[in-house]
Structure 1
Amino acid sequence: MGSPGNFADEFWNTEICDFSGWTTVHQRIKDGNKIICNYIDLMKQVTSAMENFGRSLLKAAKNSSLPDTEHGKLRAALQTARLSVEAWGQDSLDAATTLNSQLSFLSQHLMQAKDSRKRAEEAVKSRQNHLQDAVRKAKQSNKSAQNKLKERLNCQNQRLCVESKIDAKSKDIEKAIQAERKSEDALAESEEQCRESVFKHNESLQDWQNTTRSSLKSMQDVEEARVKILRDSMWSVANVCSMLAVQFDQHQESIRMSLSSIDVGQELSSWVKTYRTLQSPPQPLTYKPQELASHVPTTFTHANSKRSTVTDAESSTNTSTSRSGTTTPEPLHDATVMYEFLPRNESLEDDDDHDSITNEF
């Protein structure tokens, strides 16, 4: 017996046509292939998720307007963060591509393992059928030989009985002797057939053992390759994920470095220096009570005072003209002082604006 782990030495059965050892190995290979299939399905889902994640990050980084109107060192930090998201997305896509190459290798191994298992299964199954047929024939020939032996003994006993009779006829004795000889010939022929069936049985047994031994070695190679490939693949996936984590941490470290140099006071001071207006705030209004004139109504607004003043001036002028019979206008300076209105060279828009301000107060 070989060391534990050698399939060709560890999975035999003493009883002929007991193939439970081979069945155990064969089932193990089938289960191993199923495990590979499940692992491939898992990694396909992982790579698909990583691809979608990477594309989403790239899209988010591309559509982001950062750093917008930010300024100073905080602007640089926001730019670093956006570039970090973009790099993270690209790293995820690269990792997914690497994992896809692992899946291709595993799928190729799975197909090869299935082909090897099927070839070994067909070869061993054929030898098992031959061995079972040889065992059946050997049992039949052995049973036939035993029957022929019984017939031989019966014929011999019958001959002895005939010969022991006193009145036995020579014809009966000769007949018994002939029957005994025929039984001897039949026994010899049956023995030869039994010997030949045993020989063929042993040939079939040896052929089955050789084929099974070779198939067990092949199955062990398949299982060793499966374990090695699965181990290496998982190791590679772990390395890819570790590298992805390291790259992600490097991106975050670059963000932390850019953030560590930010001072809140300096950021605000820098913004103020850049965008300040350098003007004083507007002055408050000062209330001045209006003086009442004898010709002005008790309550009036500033705008109404203009119009009423002008109207009064015209009426006064007309009155004076009608009294004197002359059309002597008042001097401009005196009219301005008397009626408190601005010269006519101001635009109507200024008057309207002034009226609105006066109305508000």
Structure 2
Amino acid sequence: MTGSLFKANFWSTDILSTIGYDNIIQHLNNGRKNCKEFEEFLKERAAIEEKYGKDLLSLTRKKPCGQSEINTLKRALEVFKQQVDNVAQCHIHLAQTLREEARKMEDFREKQKQQRKKTETVMDAAHKQRNLQFKKTMDAKKIYEQKCRDKDEAEQAVHRSANMANQKQQEKLFVKLATSKTAVEDSDKVYMQHVNTLDKVREDWQSEHIKACEVLEAQECERINFLRNALWVHVNQLSQQCVKSDDMYEQVRKTLEMCSIEKDIEYFVNQRKTGQIPPAPIMYENFYCPQRNAAPPGKTTGPNLARRGPLPVPKSVPDDPDYSLVDDYSLLYQ
């Protein structure tokens, strides 16, 4: 594990480079974004669960479902609607639980943000101080090198003027050489001071970098653990919801097992029976004949005369002059 530590793997040979630190910060920013996405996912899932629960409640409380059923099947349907109502309540409760989990994730993100802010502030100051001191050191080095070149030129001028007869000119060159040597010594001291200061700043920066790596690595471990546990809790909550729903539906199944077809039929008969004697057959009655024919309707062999009696039988044939007489009644005037 030592070889995988942040503090051992995010350096650069360039003293001004922040690539290692930048990579860590970018990774932690992505992790924070991932936590935010999971938080939003929980909120969206909570909204879905709440809507589903409320729609289910509306369905069970407003929509009839076998309201005219009787006896054991009626009880089974009542248990069914009650358990569906309970399932709806569970989904609404799950929505509240998911929102609480999302709030925990938000609090965790905010806590890590504040912790990182302190570390980033220290590191930004360390980077700024390091860069500033490096610039001062490089400027001091340039001045020192220039003073060295000036001294070398002065020495060369003195050597060239060794055979010169002009005493006054030689004195000027010696004064210039002495001045340049003094300037070199002074610039060398300043340069050395800046180098030493830069080394101290570098050590401080490296120390802060190590501390920052340790803090940020601890934060990343905490974030991974927190997000992993949050996801674990989330799927357990969903599984528990399924278990609860199945337990509630099991109550319906148990009620259905006690539902008896014979008992429901018997219950209906006892509650709504109207009698055990069917109606008697409707007998045929001749309007002209007082005798009652026992034959039931539809069983008569003669034509249906609509309650009229049979025609009288004539006593004479059509050729007789008295053909129009019917039982001593004549249509002929006498």
Query: Common fold, TM-score beyond 0.5?
Result: yes
The match for 1:206 among 179, 186, 203 is: 203
Alignment partner, residue 93 of structure 1: 92
Please identify runs of 4+ aligned residues in structure 1 that moved more than 6 A: none
Q: How does 1:266-277 map to 2 (within 5 A)?
A: 266-277=263-274
Output the CA distance in 1 between the equivalents of 2:67 and 2:73: 11
Instruction: Compute the displacement of 1:61 (Å).
Output: 2.6
* Residue 251, structure 1, aligned to residue 243, structure 2: no
Q: How does 1:14-25 map to 2 (within 5 A)?
A: 14-25=13-24
Alignment partner, residue 183 of structure 1: 180
Secondary structure of residue in 2 paired with 1:68: coil
Output the CA distance in 2 between the equivalents of 1:140 and 1:168: 40
Deviations 1:224-250 (CA, angstroms, capped at 9, x unpaired): 221111111111111111111111111
Deviations 1:224-282 (CA, angstroms, capped at 9, x unpaired): 22111111111111111111111111112221222123343443233223321114344
Q: Aligned partner of 1:233: which letter?
A: A
Q: Aligned partner of 1:182: which letter?
A: T
Alignment partner, residue 192 of structure 1: 189
Between Structure 1 and Structure 2, how many residues are aligned? 292
* Residue 234, structure 1, aligned to residue 231, structure 2: yes
Output the CA distance in 2 between the equivalents of 1:233 and 1:70: 47
Secondary structure of residue in 2 paired with 1:78: helix
Where do 5+ consecutive residues of structure 2 fail to align?
290-304, 308-334
Instruction: Compute the displacement of 1:133 (Å).
Output: 1.6
Alignment partner, residue 82 of structure 2: 83
Q: Aligned partner of 1:172: which letter?
A: Q
Instruction: Compute the displacement of 1:64 (Å).
Output: 4.7
Output the CA distance in 1 between the equivalents of 2:89 and 2:154: 97
Q: Determine if contact 2:130/2:201 at 8 Å carries over to the other structure.
A: yes
Alignment partner, residue 332 of structure 2: none
Among all aligned residue pairs of Structure 1 and Structure 2, give the percentage whose two residues are the same amino acid.
Answer: 21
Output the CA distance in 2 between the equivalents of 1:219 and 1:50: 36
Output the CA distance in 1 between the equivalents of 2:41 and 2:98: 11
Instruction: Compute the displacement of 1:49 (Å).
Output: 1.2
Q: Aligned partner of 1:118: which letter?
A: K
Q: Determine if contact 1:29/1:117 at 8 Å carries over to the other structure.
A: no
Deviations 1:289-314 (CA, angstroms, capped at 9, x unpaired): 4339xxxxxxx999xxxxxxxxxxxx
Q: Aligned partner of 1:270: which letter?
A: Y
Alignment partner, residue 143 of structure 1: 142
Q: Aligned partner of 2:239: which letter?
A: S
Output the CA distance in 1 between the equivalents of 2:148 and 2:306: 152
Alignment partner, residue 107 of structure 1: 106
Q: Determine if contact 2:72/2:263 at 8 Å carries over to the other structure.
A: no
Output the CA distance in 2 between the equivalents of 1:183 and 1:192: 14
Instruction: Compute the displacement of 1:28 (Å).
Output: 0.8
Instruction: Compute the displacement of 1:287 (Å).
Output: 3.7
Instruction: Compute the displacement of 1:80 (Å).
Output: 1.4
| Structure number having the greater helix percentage | 1
Output the CA distance in 1 between the equivalents of 2:150 and 2:165: 22
Output the CA distance in 1 between the equivalents of 2:239 and 2:4: 34
Instruction: Compute the displacement of 1:20 (Å).
Output: 0.5
Alignment partner, residue 359 of structure 1: none
Deviations 1:103-137 (CA, angstroms, capped at 9, x unpaired): 11111111112222233223212221221121122
Alignment partner, residue 218 of structure 2: 221
Secondary structure of residue in 2 paired with 1:54: helix
Secondary structure of residue in 2 paired with 1:13: coil
Output the CA distance in 1 between the equivalents of 2:13 and 2:209: 14
* Residue 154, structure 1, aligned to residue 153, structure 2: yes
* Higher mean displacement: 173-182 or 67-76: 67-76
Instruction: Compute the displacement of 1:42 (Å).
Output: 0.6
* Residue 291, structure 1, aligned to residue 288, structure 2: yes
* Higher mean displacement: 148-157 or 263-272: 263-272
Alignment partner, residue 41 of structure 1: 40
Instruction: Compute the displacement of 1:284 (Å).
Output: 4.8
Deviations 1:50-81 (CA, angstroms, capped at 9, x unpaired): 11222222333333555623222212211111
Output the CA distance in 1 between the equivalents of 2:132 and 2:237: 56
TM-score, normalised relative to structure 2: 0.81
* Residue 6, structure 1, aligned to residue 23, structure 2: no
